[in-house]
A and B are shown apart, each in its own frame.
Chain A
Amino acid sequence: MSGLRKTALWRVVSTWRGGLSLAVMLLLALAAVFAPWVAPYPYDIQNLSATNKDPSMGHWLGTDEFGRDVLSRIIFGARTSLAVALTGISVSVTLGMCLGAAAGYFGGLFDRAVTAVVDLTWSFPEVLIALIFVAILGPGLYSTMVAISIAYLAQFSRLTRAQIMAIKNETYVEAAANLGSGHLHILFRHLLPNAITPVIVAGMLATGDAIILEATLGFFGLGVQPPKPSWGAMMSSGTAQIFLAPWTILGPGLAIAVAVVSINLFGDALIDALDIRNRVRDL
């Protein structure tokens, strides 16, 4: 089974779209992980005599209203965005797959109950869910992560459930039951491996959305709190000097765009390579 996926990965990477987007994603990830070594300055060093400076050799993207290096803040901001988005989506995928698998496999009333609850989360816009959690838990890292976990749950749950239901009546599942397999064995060995691929791709695309959600919260000051930098918050404070120092908005804005576009492109390339268009798009 891994043989099949290896060749698919190669097919993706060998295209312009797949290879380039993967490179950009890796670049961002590495920059985020090694931020203290990659960023030219720490993100909170203020230099009140050099506020709102244009891009220069010393500051590739200029400085903000407190004289902090915009580029460094963007690199550290990547940490926030990626960490929050990836954690949130990972939890969402895990939770969604568990619920969806259980619903699809056991069926009956349990399925209807789970589907009803999941559909409920589906019907709320992500921002609204995020605001609800911020109201309950207060602004910050954790409420953003929880919000992301809940907001994107539905699609993973539905995808998994659909995959499970499509396969659970296959003869080889019956054969496994015939051998004396318990439910867990059947789920993990025969059913979930088939569900994983479309869910992973959906998860990847959702990560892009999660980054935007995190930035949106940050824009309104409801996300990660200062002095920790976040792209959204940077854009928000940048609005005050949009004509004076446009780089303070454009920088983080471009960062968000590059991150999300590269993730989406890679996800698209994966879909094409794995030829699971039908399964992911028709949610």
Chain B
Amino acid sequence: MAEASQPAVPLLQARGLTRVFSSRASLFAKKRELAAVSDVDLDVARGRVTGVVGESGCGKSTLARLVLRLLEPSRGSVAFDGIDLASVPAPALRLLRRRMQMVFQDPYSSIDPRYSVRDTLLEPLLVQRAQLDAAAQDARVAGLMSMVGLNPTLAASYPHQLSGGQKQRVGIARALAMQPDFLVLDEPTASLDVSIQAQIIALLEKLQQDLGLTYLFISHDLGLVRYFCNRIVVMYLGRVVEILPDPEAPPRHPYTRALIDSSFEPDPTRRRVVTLLHGEIADAFNLPPGCAYAARCPQASARCRDERPVLAQDGAHSLACHHPLC
């Protein structure tokens, strides 16, 4: 990864970010609330790759959308390059979107099937009112396509004529169309075959270096995150439980340990011993007062069940646990 020197102000700063969804089973049932993301503080350093890892229900996809203001937070703030996104008027926000973009998980549904590759890549310019004449448009489309490794002759193709990997490249090209500084990648390779996944990751690496991009990389695949990211944020049921300053840092939170133990290495000489967890994942609608992981944690004590641990910083390493592993 491009080891850029770290300037003082992170490109993205989130403080106390919370998003609650409420639903009602029927007209007479009580309203139920789900805190998809709770009290998340997050810094994304310029020019670096920050990874967010967690399993289903941890809130990472919601976090991605909060960070880009595709969802309004219930509480908390997001500042992009020092600008508070909540206080920005709509036209300014639209311009700001040129600088922060998202690559979505499912290439099959993230591109409108009715439009050709060319139309899809020109849509950002249309939306952002960037006027270009026909020749400049063609050049831009061709440039974007070769940047992501797509043959420019595919410009007139429709999504159903492309493979999954090609579609995802179109998604990446679209995100790059307005020359952003910041990309949020929401599981960009989860739907792809392993060999294609590696292609796309290699492409993303190259783009990051060539264009000096900042990435927020969201994934459930810890092996991939440890390869690709500089810093790793671990989430569980809507909260950050640990932030690892680098991929090799030993995990201190029991959940991170469990995640690492569950990510099997492609090496039969290094098989893991899987300790069978007891207990089930807590009901997100009915979170216990203490640590959400206590029900499954082998180290859980009475204190864990009553008192929720707060995320505390220890140098570059952050941790929310009463009984850290080291």
Contact = CB atoms under 8 A, between A and B. Distances in A.
B19 to A, nearest CB: 15
B35 to A, nearest CB: 22
Contacts, number: 57
Given A171-B104, A174-B104, A179 B110 contact: no
Interface string A175-196: 1111111100100011001100
B8 interface: no
Nearest to B112: A172
B307 interface: no
Interface residues of B, number: 27
Interface string B116-139: 000000011011100000000000
A1 interface: yes
B174 A175 contact: yes
A180 B112 contact: no
A189 B70 contact: no
B128 A179 contact: yes
B122 to A, nearest CB: 11
Nearest to A193: B114
A176 B126 CA distance: 11
A272 interface: no
Contacts of B94: 180, 182
Given A171-B104, A179-B124, A1 B115 contact: yes
Nearest to B103: A175
B296 interface: no
A176 B70 contact: no
A175 B127 contact: no
A180 B128 contact: yes
Contact residue range for chain A?
A: 20 to 34
B97 A175 contact: no
A175 B128 contact: no
A43 to B, nearest CB: 46
A178 B109 contact: no
Given A170-B109, A171-B106, A171-B109, A176 B127 contact: yes
Interface in B72-109: 93-95, 97-98, 101-102, 104-106, 109
Contacts of A185: 126-127
B123 A179 contact: yes
Interface in A149-168: none
A180 B127 contact: yes
A203 to B, nearest CB: 20
A194 B70 contact: no
Contacts of B127: 176, 179-181, 185
B68 interface: yes
A226 B308 CA distance: 85
B189 to A, nearest CB: 15
A3 B119 CA distance: 14
A178 B106 contact: no
Nearest to A3: B158
9 contacts: A171-B106, A174-B70, A174-B110, A175-B171, A178-B97, A179-B178, A180-B127, A185-B127, A189-B112
Interface of A: 1, 3-4, 170-172, 174-182, 185, 189-190, 193-194
Closest 5 CB pairs of A and B: A180-B94, A180-B97, A1-B114, A171-B110, A171-B109
Interface of B: 68, 70, 93-95, 97-98, 101-102, 104-106, 109-112, 114-115, 123-124, 126-128, 158, 171, 174, 178
